Structure 1
Amino acid sequence: MTKKDFPINKPELKDDFYDAINGSWIKQATIPSDHSSTGGFMDLVDDIDKTLMKDSAELQSGKLNATSPELEEYKKFYNMTTNFKKRDEDGVKPLKPVLDRITNLDNYDDLNDQLSDWILSGLPTPFSLGLDPDMKNAKVNALFASGPSLFMPDKTYYEKDNEAAKTLMPIFIKMTTKLFEMAGYSEEDSKNIVENAVEFDRLIAPNVKSAEEAADYSKMYNPESPDQLAKSTNVLNLKEAINQLVGALPEKIIVTEPQFFENLSELLTSSHFKLMKDWMLVKTLNGYSGALSDEFRVTGGTYSRALSGKKEATNKKKAAYYLASGTFDQVIGDYYGKKYFGEKAKDDVHQMVNNMINVYKNRLTNNDWLSEDTKKMAIKKLSTLGVQVGYPDELDPLYKKFHVTEEKDGGTVLSNLLDFEKIANQYEFSKWNKPVERERWEMSANTVNAYYHPFKNIIVFPAAILQAPFYSLDQPESANYGGIGAVMAHEISHAFDNNGSLFDQYGNLNNWWTKSDHEHFAKLAQKMIDEFNGIPFAGGKVNGKLTVSENIADAGGLSCAEEAAKNDTDPDLYQFFTNWGRIWRMKATPEYQNLLLSIDVHAPSPLRASVQVKNLDDFYTTFDVTSEDKMYLKPDKRVQIW
């Protein structure tokens, strides 16, 4: 969609910035029946999907040749995911051995005997283990322990007054009961299994973190010895399982949800064993329904569609592509990046990121509230910031291990998925206590997004987001700064938000602030919380604490990008601000808006567009906004951190 297609309502810019830019588009935009939203980000996703689905079909037909052994394996798997006749004939049969493995558990000892292999196999457990850089020694991978995910999107859905859960839980129960009946269980057994599973999930909920609680990184680091962690339960030997998974007993395990493990023994009692086993069955059947027949896939997506407001299931061809490309995500990303982005664009954008870093360095140098000591440390952190653009220089070696067992050799879509999952888990746990691979990508190049990793102090910009409306040679340079420039500076700002600021230049959890600087920053962060907290949206209200880190990053990103635009030879702040408003264009279902309001660390897109501009003085002069206009914010209320 071009600016010409959807004119800006200039008089309205003073009263409703977002609607003035996007209102004409919103009026005509239609959310596809298999989508929960449409708009700037989603349009790019759809275009990339069409491109890669076309290429996948041509790869399948032989019109395109696989450019790597890994892409050849993707082709084999894609052939299997698109063999709908075989998948429909197989039905639930490929999953039966997994369900039987759970059903055959008679007690905790049975699970204990195979606990490490159970975890490697990707089967559900009432706790989670994984690897990430050690938060106090970020050059080395450490073992992390946390609680499991819930059936509902967040623990708050289990509170008595949660209206959304009153609608969603019955849908979840009905869908899951039907899946078990489709899998050959009796009506009574299906009903009992689901009831038990939901009861167990409710027992978990009070002790895991909510989205708001999880958004506070300062409370993630709770190291425990293996002996301390082992005391969480006397029915499972966590020490032995960990020893088998990583080949030794770590001196410490980083527990991100200590309250959960403090109450684990009360969860894993003999009277709860049947509940736990049925919870595992439900997790497994729901989790793998999309890899079975089309009937299982469509039925298994009922709850997800209700949660997001999608009217229809994704068509089976696109779902087959998602299943195959999601499994080989970095392989497809590598193909996409090299074919549709290329080395030249990669170098150009890398230079643009470096320019934004220099602008940020200048802003830190001239900062008027940081002390010199803190300022020096901030600049040092910025100077060591890792930058990854487009696609990885080398494909993750994990994918060399993925070898598809084709149908002629007895393989199924699910059997391959299970094999790949075990290989990936073994590969992941083998990295314990080894050097962190800072350059390893965690997002595929065909993903329309970007991120900052505080434990690695890196920013990553996949190829997919580096196009219009974010970035294009065909739009004014100032518009590019209001788009991709602001996104780049947003990710840089995460190094200095309320979470990122806790970590030093190496990614270590380390206080590098003076006491007075940190106290001042905390006051500014609270002003950002207050600016967004309680804003009415989609029948609810914005949670300022949940969204504070992203709001700080938006504010810093927009402010920094504006300075870069003003440094250009021919700055046009009208283009800068209006493209900022344009990139947040979004039309979403009410259900999806409510879901995001509950769990998303980002503020709603319209508010990201409209609230942040009010913090910048140049917004008022660019659009002649005065105290008589609705977009006006008193100078003492404007939040400016970076």
Structure 2
Amino acid sequence: MAAKEQINEQLIKDDLYMAVNGEWLKTAKIPADKATTGGFQDLADHIEKTLMHDFGEMLDGTVQPEDQYLNEFIKYYRLASDFEKRNADGFTPAKKFMERVENLKDWNDWENKAVALTMKGYEAPFQLYVASDMKNTDRYALYASVPSLILPDKTYYADDNENGKALIAVFSSMVMKLFKMAGYDEATAQAHLERALAFDRSLAPHEKDSTERADYPKMYNPYSFEDFKKFSSYLNLGKYTKGLIKNTPDQVIVEEPKYYEALDEIVNPDTFENFKSWLLVNTLTGVTGYLTDDFRVTGGEFSRAISGSKEAMKPQKAAYYLAGNRFDQVVGLYYAHKYFSPDAKADVEHMVHQMVDVYKHRLENNDWLSESTRKQAIVKLDALGINVGYPDELDPLYKKFKVNEQLSLLDNAQSFSEIVLADHYSRWGKQVDRTRWQMPAHMVNAYYDPQFNVIVFPAAILQAPFYDLHQSASANYGGIGAVIAHEISHAFDNNGAQFDEKGNLHNWWTEADLKHFQGLAQDMINEFDGLETEAGKVNGKLVVSENIADAGGLSCALEAAKGEAQPDLKAFFINWARIWRMKASMERMKLLLNIDVHAPHVLRANVQPKNLDDFYTTFDVHEGDGMYLTPDKRVNIW
């Protein structure tokens, strides 16, 4: 359907999102095995069909894989697709995984086996991982994190949270079914479930919620190794730490000190049986996707309840995602080399540099930054790394992946996990590899990494409606142009602004400038806080960083569009609204309101244009119209 046929231009004055997407919303259907449709998801669905077709031809031998790494992926995909064998094997491949937990005697026994268990992918009551040091991003440092909760966020554990209670009921029902399928008697299964839930509840009070975690720099809390070891009176944290990195760190960066200060309350002789059952339940739910189709479908009941998906994926699609997620960079490079043209890559790179120039011009003419802060902001912008399409080379890690077709799918998965974890912990103390991409090329997304000061645009997002060589430049600026400038803006949002041009956590602001910026950020919080959606009210503090990026992105993209010979600002704003079209299950929308740092799509489409004077003149919006916002309420930061 042509874009004009979908748009009610008269309605734009009252609701830009509905004017552009209203007709689409009337007929759009969410796939039964998904929680959303539209925008990003439509592109992802198209890529899914394309790659499943291509790889299907490789599975049946019609087409030969083009390189050895793709060949290993196809072998793994073939194992994942062989449900006849998976169903015949039943629960047998998982028994040894469960037995390792069942045989644990006490905390001392767990401590002696903890490193080996961690390297095999088992959960622990605390998590250590390696990442670049926020204050010295040239080197990998050791971080201490917290275990995942069963529910999506600690707020779900509140006594008055009925949604949390309903989800625990679904989780409990699922776990009992899985235990029965695995051959456990009901009494034993019920006892394990109750103890696991008790241990999970003991974690929640000491962990941060999603809003607290959205303040990214506050995860940087370095402790000397000697002080870190003192967090537990019952476990030798030093022995465990040195066992993982095969070295002695000078410090450990603790993400959530409150949790570690409560470690003796969480981990002590009285809690071992609860922990053991928690570990057993986590292991059971974690292996289901690698077993029979019945285990796969039953093991997904809880996640489907959270997302609102009506059905499990069909077996072949599930196999594609299982194999593809492990070989994601291999799959991404295949997709990019086949479907992303050099012309498109060059054109988008040109647009990125153009948006950087627009941003630089705006910083140079900013009327509230002092000269010293402005200079540092431009230094940071000039140092910004730009990655478009796909990485130049495959991560060497994938060269270690060898599929043993004589072993089960689960055994191969564990082998890969051990390779990944060994590589991960071996990085400690080494120089940071800044060439690694966090997203594969076939993922419909983009990101800014504050510690690398780099923006990344995978090939998958560089297509319509975001970007199309055949649509107007103004429409492209309203789509991919705004996305590009959004990612640039993250370098100067409430989190990114605390990192310098090298990605180090370092204050480069004058005190007065920082205070003014924090006031503008609060204005953005206030603009969104409490806004009503059909799923509930928006938490302005949770979504502030993404809203600052949206505001800066749309504003800078608008300036670039106005710089064209024949700008079409109607097309610009209309495509901005089009890229945010989405229909989602109520469960999914409620979940995102609680944990997602992005505002709901309808608000991303509608609120930011209200902040821009050009929107009012373009569509003749006046006081009394639904899209009107008084000038004193309009928020402009970048």
Q: When the two structures are superposed, what TM-score results if normalisation uses the length of structure 1?
A: 0.98
Q: 1:429 pairs with 425, 431, 434, which one?
A: 425
Shift of 1:482: 0.3
Shift of 1:570: 1.3
Shift of 1:244: 2.0
For residues 512-559 of structure 1, the C-alpha deviation after alignment (integer angstroms, 9 at most, x for no partner) is 000000000000000000000000112410000000000000000000
Q: Distance in 2 between matches of 1:274 and 1:29?
A: 49
Q: Distance in 2 between matches of 1:482 and 1:534?
A: 27
Q: Distance in 2 between matches of 1:388 and 1:196?
A: 47
Q: Distance in 1 between matches of 2:503 and 2:284?
A: 38
For residues 76-106 of structure 1, the C-alpha deviation after alignment (integer angstroms, 9 at most, x for no partner) is 1011001010001112111111110011100
Equivalent residue, structure 2, for 1:52: 51
User: In the alignment, residue 279 of structure 1 is paired with which amino acid?
Assistant: W
Shift of 1:62: 2.0
Q: Distance in 2 between matches of 1:354 and 1:194?
A: 55
Equivalent residue, structure 2, for 1:597: 593
User: In the alignment, residue 436 of structure 1 is paired with which amino acid?
Assistant: V
Shift of 1:60: 1.1
For residues 115-136 of structure 1, the C-alpha deviation after alignment (integer angstroms, 9 at most, x for no partner) is 2222111101011111111011
For residues 420-441 of structure 1, the C-alpha deviation after alignment (integer angstroms, 9 at most, x for no partner) is 0010000011111111111211
What SS is found at the alignment partner of 1:130? Answer: strand
**TM alignment of 1:95-134, pairs within 5 A:** 95-134=94-133
Shift of 1:634: 0.6
Equivalent residue, structure 2, for 1:586: 582
User: In the alignment, residue 636 of structure 2 is paired with which amino acid?
Assistant: Q
Q: Distance in 1 between matches of 2:387 and 2:252?
A: 29
Q: 2:517 pairs with 515, 521, 539, which one?
A: 521
Equivalent residue, structure 1, for 2:573: 577
Which range moved further: 227-236 or 514-523?
227-236
**TM alignment of 1:340-359, pairs within 5 A:** 340-359=339-358
For residues 272-325 of structure 1, the C-alpha deviation after alignment (integer angstroms, 9 at most, x for no partner) is 101001101111111221111100000001011111111111111100100010
What SS is found at the alignment partner of 2:457? Answer: strand
Q: Distance in 2 between matches of 1:618 and 1:312?
A: 45
Q: Distance in 1 between matches of 2:235 and 2:293?
A: 37
Equivalent residue, structure 2, for 1:416: 412
Q: Distance in 2 between matches of 1:2 and 1:148?
A: 49
Identity %: 55
Shift of 1:17: 1.1
Equivalent residue, structure 1, for 2:434: 438
1:160 lines up with 2:156 in the alignment: no
Which range moved further: 56-65 or 587-596?
56-65
Equivalent residue, structure 1, for 2:633: 637
Equivalent residue, structure 1, for 2:388: 389
Q: Distance in 1 between matches of 2:283 and 2:608?
A: 43
Shift of 1:360: 0.6
User: In the alignment, residue 484 of structure 1 is paired with which amino acid?
Assistant: I
What SS is found at the alignment partner of 2:542? Answer: helix
User: In the alignment, residue 66 of structure 2 is paired with which amino acid?
Assistant: T
What SS is found at the alignment partner of 1:404? Answer: coil
User: In the alignment, residue 621 of structure 1 is paired with which amino acid?
Assistant: T
Q: Is residue 443–residue 460 contact of structure 2 (8 Å, CA) maintained in 1?
A: yes
1:473 lines up with 2:472 in the alignment: no
Which range moved further: 227-236 or 197-206?
227-236
User: In the alignment, residue 591 of structure 2 is paired with which amino acid?
Assistant: L
Q: How many residues align?
A: 638
Shift of 1:150: 0.5
Q: Distance in 2 between matches of 1:133 and 1:225?
A: 17
Indicate the RMSD between aligned Cα atoms, in angstroms: 0.9
Unaligned runs of 5+ in 2: none
Shift of 1:254: 0.7
What SS is found at the alignment partner of 1:141? Answer: strand
What SS is found at the alignment partner of 1:213? Answer: helix
1:263 lines up with 2:262 in the alignment: yes
Equivalent residue, structure 1, for 2:277: 278
User: In the alignment, residue 428 of structure 1 is paired with which amino acid?
Assistant: H
Which range moved further: 395-404 or 532-541?
532-541
| Counterparts in 2 of 1:199 and 1:412: CA distance versus 1, 3 Å | same
User: In the alignment, residue 85 of structure 1 is paired with which amino acid?
Assistant: E
1:89 lines up with 2:85 in the alignment: no
Q: Distance in 2 between matches of 1:159 and 1:136?
A: 36
Shift of 1:385: 0.6
Shift of 1:501: 0.3
What SS is found at the alignment partner of 2:500? Answer: coil
User: In the alignment, residue 633 of structure 2 is paired with which amino acid?
Assistant: K
For residues 197-249 of structure 1, the C-alpha deviation after alignment (integer angstroms, 9 at most, x for no partner) is 11100000011111100000231110011221111112222211221221211
Which range moved further: 311-320 or 341-350?
341-350
Q: Distance in 2 between matches of 1:136 and 1:163?
A: 42
User: In the alignment, residue 139 of structure 2 is paired with which amino acid?
Assistant: V
Q: Distance in 1 between matches of 2:33 and 2:535?
A: 23
Equivalent residue, structure 1, for 2:7: 8
Q: Distance in 2 between matches of 1:364 and 1:247?
A: 46
Q: 1:552 pairs with 548, 553, 561, which one?
A: 548
For residues 393-413 of structure 1, the C-alpha deviation after alignment (integer angstroms, 9 at most, x for no partner) is 00000100110010xx3x111
User: In the alignment, residue 22 of structure 1 is paired with which amino acid?
Assistant: N
What SS is found at the alignment partner of 1:405? Answer: coil
For residues 340-386 of structure 1, the C-alpha deviation after alignment (integer angstroms, 9 at most, x for no partner) is 11433222211211111111111111111000100000000011111
User: In the alignment, residue 455 of structure 1 is paired with which amino acid?
Assistant: Q
Equivalent residue, structure 2, for 1:400: 399
User: In the alignment, residue 448 of structure 1 is paired with which amino acid?
Assistant: V
1:460 lines up with 2:459 in the alignment: no
**TM alignment of 1:19-98, pairs within 5 A:** 19-98=18-97
Shift of 1:7: 1.8
Equivalent residue, structure 1, for 2:180: 181
What SS is found at the alignment partner of 2:541? Answer: helix
Which range moved further: 575-584 or 536-545?
536-545
User: In the alignment, residue 634 of structure 2 is paired with which amino acid?
Assistant: R
Q: Is residue 58–residue 74 contact of structure 2 (8 Å, CA) maintained in 1?
A: yes
Unaligned runs of 5+ in 1: none
User: In the alignment, residue 501 of structure 2 is paired with which amino acid?
Assistant: Q
Q: Distance in 2 between matches of 1:628 and 1:536?
A: 19
Q: Distance in 2 between matches of 1:64 and 1:3?
A: 38
Which range moved further: 482-491 or 26-35?
26-35
Q: Distance in 2 between matches of 1:262 and 1:203?
A: 14
Q: Is residue 535–residue 589 contact of structure 2 (8 Å, CA) maintained in 1?
A: no
Equivalent residue, structure 2, for 1:606: 602
Equivalent residue, structure 2, for 1:376: 375
Q: Distance in 2 between matches of 1:107 and 1:210?
A: 31
What SS is found at the alignment partner of 1:114? Answer: helix
What SS is found at the alignment partner of 1:592? Answer: helix
Displacement over 3 Å in runs of 4+ = none
Q: Distance in 2 between matches of 1:197 and 1:2?
A: 54
User: In the alignment, residue 466 of structure 2 is paired with which amino acid?
Assistant: F
Shift of 1:2: 4.4
Shift of 1:608: 0.3
Q: Distance in 2 between matches of 1:109 and 1:217?
A: 35
User: In the alignment, residue 41 of structure 2 is paired with which amino acid?
Assistant: M
What SS is found at the alignment partner of 2:415? Answer: helix
Equivalent residue, structure 2, for 1:323: 322
User: In the alignment, residue 195 of structure 1 is paired with which amino acid?
Assistant: E
Equivalent residue, structure 1, for 2:507: 511
Which range moved further: 228-237 or 542-551?
228-237
What SS is found at the alignment partner of 1:440? Answer: coil
User: In the alignment, residue 351 of structure 2 is paired with which amino acid?
Assistant: M
